[in-house]
A = this chain, B = another copy of it.
Amino acid sequence: MSGRELARTFLGAKGEQAVRIGELSRRTGVSVPTIKFYVREGLLPAGELTSPNQASYGDGHERRLRLIRAMLGVGGLSLARIGEILAVVDDTSQPVFKLMGEVAGTVAAPSLVGSGEPSDAARESVAALGERRGWHVPPGHPDGDALARTLTEAERLGHEDFAVALDAYAEAAEKVAEADLSYVRGLGARDDVLEGVVVGMMLGDAMFGSLRRIAQAEETGRIYGRGEGA
């Protein structure tokens, strides 16, 4: 993204709403030193200098700052990963379609700590699932591998049977993905779409987690009779 484009995006086409750092801080609730810190880290573009030591920040800066805080807070991402995601979002040299995949991929891949290699059984489960669903999940697919590794982790913990839930999960995931995509399709401009993908991945995860726990509580109450021991 060129300097001129950046300026246009971040200051707004008509330069309206341009403020200095103190006001930006007040609007977003992020302290001035922290904003400076984000600028130093390259997460937020510097304000546009209006004189050697005065700079102004536009709507774009505010949006970007909120996005960073959302990814950090709701999404629980590290600033390092946030930087990678923003780099993809800011790269105008590629078609939106590809970027969506990259953003989704970057948003994902949380830890893979207990990792090591996935077990054969896990790999097979994933391949079989892909076949049943008509999904394109070749060996080496990042998310397919992540799934296999998670299943392997379940095995190590003595919960290999947890894999029986896979089909139900997959069906639910399809429903969610449809909703996600139909939302993203409703967005117009390129920047909105990419930001929508990020927000969707991020907030979508959090929302689904809440809903899942609510649904679990309902289901538990239904089965165990709301207050009885098992």
Contacts and interface: CB of A to CB of B under 8 A. Distances in A.
B161 A228 contact: no
Interface string A155-188: 0111101101110111111111111111101100
Interface in A100-127: 100-101, 104-105, 108, 110-116
A177 B215 contact: yes
Interface string A135-153: 1110001011011001101
Q: How large, as a class, is the contact surface on chain A?
A: 35 or more
A213 B202 CA distance: 12
Nearest to A163: B207
A211 interface: yes
A219 interface: yes
A22 interface: no
A84 to B, nearest CB: 16
A73 interface: yes
A159 B197 CA distance: 11
Interface stretch (A11-19, A34-42, A50-58, A61-69): A61-69
A209 B108 contact: yes
A70 interface: yes
Interface string A92-105: 00011110110011
Which 7 residue pairs across A and B have the least CB separation, nearest first?
A73-B113, A95-B229, A177-B215, A168-B179, A173-B211, A172-B172, A147-B210
Interface of A: 29, 63, 66-67, 69-70, 72-74, 76, 95-98, 100-101, 104-105, 108, 110-116, 130, 135-137, 141, 143-144, 146-147, 150-151, 153-154, 156-159, 161-162, 164-166, 168-183, 185-186, 190, 193, 195-196, 199-200, 203-221, 223-224, 227-230
